[in-house]
Chains A and B, each alone.
Chain A
Amino acid sequence: MNPALDPLAATPVAARPPARPRSNWRVVAILLTVVVGSLLFVSLQPRLYQAFCDWTGLYDIDRAERVATSSIPARPVTLEFDANSHDGGLKFSPKTTSIVARTGEIVHVVYRIENTLDRTVIGQAIPSYGPQYAGGYVKKLDCFCFKQQTFAAHEVREMPVVFLLEQRLPEEVNTVTLSYTFFEVPAGSAKASATASDGGK
């Protein structure tokens, strides 16, 4: 619209009276509805996502496992828990010593550790299994043994381990022992592997 070329240049576009003024608050009310709608939408996401995944079978991370093991019925197995401290000064024990759980069931147990020393202790718990080969069927979802732990002097801490026993567990195994030994990390090498895991199994 080059003013020099446009014959209407000087003519006001609107000679008509201004439109009925819209209330600012009406616009704000509409916009706030959008905000609330978005908040509602995001807060429903976990549920919608779950429903969508169930409906379509997407992201069903256990499916391969379930297909592979669906022919194996779940069965009860006795789980025993044990804890030792390699170096003196730490009291390390499971809060439950034995439970019966079904294979495929998520088990949540808590271990208790107490630093009886007057100094900070940094260390890591290393698991072992009885029988040894049962370790291959223990799937840990979360474990305090994944990381190095730091205990202040006289600190008491309760730490969880969440795992399940695979349904493929050989038939002859009816009792699995999960045993942790707590090793203190030599002062120089602490934190060198803050995220060291126990191999995930």
Chain B
Amino acid sequence: MQATSHAGYAGNHDHDSHGHPTGWKRWVTTTNHKDIGTMYLWFSFVMFLVGGAMSLIIRAELFAPGLQYVSPEFYNQMLTLHALIMVFGAIMPAFVGFANWMIPMMIGASDMAFARLNNWSFWLLPPAAILLTASLFMPGGAAGTGWTLYPPLSVQMGMGMDMAIFAVHILGMSSIMGSINIVTTILNLRTPGMTLMKMPLFCWTWLVTGFLLIASMPILAGAVTMLLTDRHFGTSFFAAAGGGDPVLFQHIFWFFGHPEVYIIALPAFGVVSHVIPAFSRKPLFGYASMVYAIAAIGLISFFVWAHHMYVTGIPLTGQLYFMYATMLIAVPTGVKVFNWVTTMWRGSLTFETPMLFALGFLVLFTIGGLTGLVLAMTAVDIQLQDTYYVVAHFHYVMVAGALFSAYAGLYFWLPKWTGHMYNEKLGKLHFWLSMIFFNIAFFPQHFLGLAGMPRRIPDYAQQFADFNVISGIGAFGFGFSQLLVLVIVFQAVKGGAKASSRPWDGAHGLEWTVPSPAPYHTFEDPPVFNQAEAHG
């Protein structure tokens, strides 16, 4: 993942003439989009391992009924931090890392629009991560409310909650700055001739995601700020004792929270929209409809929030509206799935690791989407609210959706970043282990949910024991398989077969016109953009 090698760069610009710091100072002071992208990706991988370890603590406790290893309080803290770290620390920064690395190279820009802001966006993340993890060691422990931070519990918890609130503030600032940067880059720095409708789809997904982040992050910041003042300054936004309403928090939280789901999913769609055409050796089917689908998903995502709140007592008209609006999202999403499948239709398919992960994404994300439709139905959701069915659903869309897509992107662009091909055998092993163990871990959770096992409880009734054992085996298998990524990435950084500038014969786009590894500075003059590298 490191583009440290400057050797072999044959550009016209003497990039060393201005001299940049080396060693650790290089990484602290860097404003280079590739360095920052690399840091984002490493940061997200470290957080992925931390969050993953927490999920294994959860699964270990659930391996048998009764309380074995941890107290219920610690269990709650684990599941809260697991979610917050995975969402804000692992998946979101991973796709920001991809955006940093790839968007300037895809649109023929020399760097991001605001290079110093970019540095700051990244360096806000480690303090937030430290706040979150250090809160475990505070009196009373970390926040144990679940990532939704619902009052009244979040108004009552100890100072770990305050640290989580500040971490969310910092992460929000980082996301907003990063998004402003990405949107400005996409709108202003495209090479001449690259119109919006010829732009790579990954850029389109990020353009919409950027707007979603800019509009929704302040909402979350506002919600947690109100929590903070309820906790410490005697206000009663949510505290019932003073006339507040805890349900208001749920409305505000999910007004942020539902767009957040698509903030995670859209860039994943973007990556897959590059990988599937490349390994099908065909242009993406229905480019324009993909763009409209992305925009439609982004827009509708702001108007469906209360489908998370069917049991709060919203009136029948509200339930009906939110049910139909939620089902409406399946239309543009279905368009996308249809287009990906049609892209493969009669293509010259090969199944290298990126393609395998993209296909794994396609199959499992569709299953997750289908259970999402099931949950959208109010009558069914009232049965399934807060059961493991919901847990299975969102892990199918978050892990098999976002994470598998991130892996597809990682293997797809790793040769461009390191200049070496990764170990294909290990890559395929990583895919199959992930695919099999993922399903062992999460498919039984559908059955558990349908049978009524509640989520966020460390103990369960005897009849759930067998499926929890299966799920536990899958989770540990999945968790340890992910260490393979470290091996594969280190191997590719250290050496391996030389990658050509276009290691995938079906890939197209400006990023494949620069050498591998990508030189430290690319496209200092806007490249000539011709039909061969155009999308759309």
Mark the stretch among B82-90, B179-187, B323-331, B472-480 that contacts chain A: B179-187
Which residues of the other chain, B, contact A49 by a CB distance below 8 angstroms?
A: 245, 248, 251
Proximity string of chain A (5-17) to chain B, C-beta cutoff 8 Å, 1 when within and 0 when not:
0101111111001
Point out the residue from A14, A22, A162 that lies within 8 Å of B193, measured CB to CB.
A14
Quick check: A38 and B184 within 8 Å, CB to CB?
no
Contact between B187 and A22 (Cβ–Cβ < 8 Å)? yes
- A41: Cβ under 8 A from any B Cβ: yes
Say if the beta carbon of A24 comes within 8 Å of chain B.
yes
Q: Does A58 contact B (CB under 8 A)?
A: yes
Q: Are B188 and A22 closer than 8 Å at their CB atoms?
A: yes
| A86-B237 Cα distance, complex, nearest whole Å | 37
Q: Which residues of B from 186 to 215 have beta carbons under 8 Å from A?
A: 187-188, 192-194, 198, 211, 214-215
Residues of A with C-beta under 8 A to B226: 46
Are B187 and A27 interface neighbours, CB within 8 A? yes
Least distance between A59 CB and chain B CB atoms (Å): 6
> What chain B residues lie within 8 Å of A142 (beta carbons)?
239-241
Complex Cα spacing A46 to B240, Å: 13
Q: Which residues of B contact A1 (CB under 8 A)?
A: 283, 508, 531-532, 534
Q: In whole angstroms, how far apart are the Cα atoms of A24 and B179 in the complex?
A: 13
In angstroms, Cα B214 to Cα A3, docked, is: 38
For chain B, what secondary structure do more than half of its interface residues adopt (helix, strand, loop), or is it mixed?
helix
Contact with B along A123-134 (1 / 0, CB 8 A): 000000000000
Q: B17 at interface (Cβ–Cβ under 8 A)?
A: no
* Total contacting residues, chain B, CB less than 8 A: 49
A21 on the B face (CB < 8 A) = yes
* Contact, CB under 8 Å: B180 / A58: no
Q: Are A2 and B215 in contact (CB under 8 A)?
A: no
Whether a CB of chain B sits under 8 angstroms from the CB of A72 is no
Would you give the shortest CB distance from B31 to chain A, in whole angstroms? 15
Q: A11 vs B114: C-alpha distance in the bound complex, in angstroms?
A: 32
Does B241 lie within 8 Å of A162, measured CB to CB?
yes
Proximity string of chain B (504-536) to chain A, C-beta cutoff 8 Å, 1 when within and 0 when not: 000010000000000000000010111110100
Question: A3, A42, A58: which contacts B314 (Cβ < 8 A)?
Answer: A58
**Which residue on A lies nearest to B531, using beta carbons?**
A8
Are A42 and B534 within 8 A (Cβ)? no
Q: Is the CB of B223 within 8 A of A42?
A: yes
**Residue on B with the closest CB to A141?**
B241
Choose among B184, B215, B282, B534 the residue that contacts A24 (Cβ–Cβ < 8 A).
Answer: B184
A49 CB to nearest B CB, Å: 5
A100 adjacent to chain B (CB < 8 Å): no
Q: Do the beta carbons of B222 and A39 come within 8 Å of each other? A: yes
- Alpha-carbon distance A8/B184, docked complex (angstroms): 30
A31 touches B180 (CB 8 A): yes
The answer to whether B247 has its CB under 8 Å from any CB of chain A is yes
Contact of B531 with A35 in the complex, beta carbons under 8 Å: no
* B183 touches which of A19, A22, A31 (Cβ 8 Å): A31
Which residues 287-342 in B have Cβ within 8 Å of A in the complex? Answer: 313-315, 318
Could you list which residues of chain A lie within 8 angstroms of chain B, going by C-beta atoms? 1-3, 6, 8-14, 17-19, 21-22, 24, 27-28, 31-32, 34-35, 37-39, 41-43, 45-46, 49, 58-59, 141-142, 162
Inter-chain pairs besides A8-B530, A27-B184, 4 sampled, C-beta below 8 Å: A27-B187, A46-B226, A49-B248, A59-B245
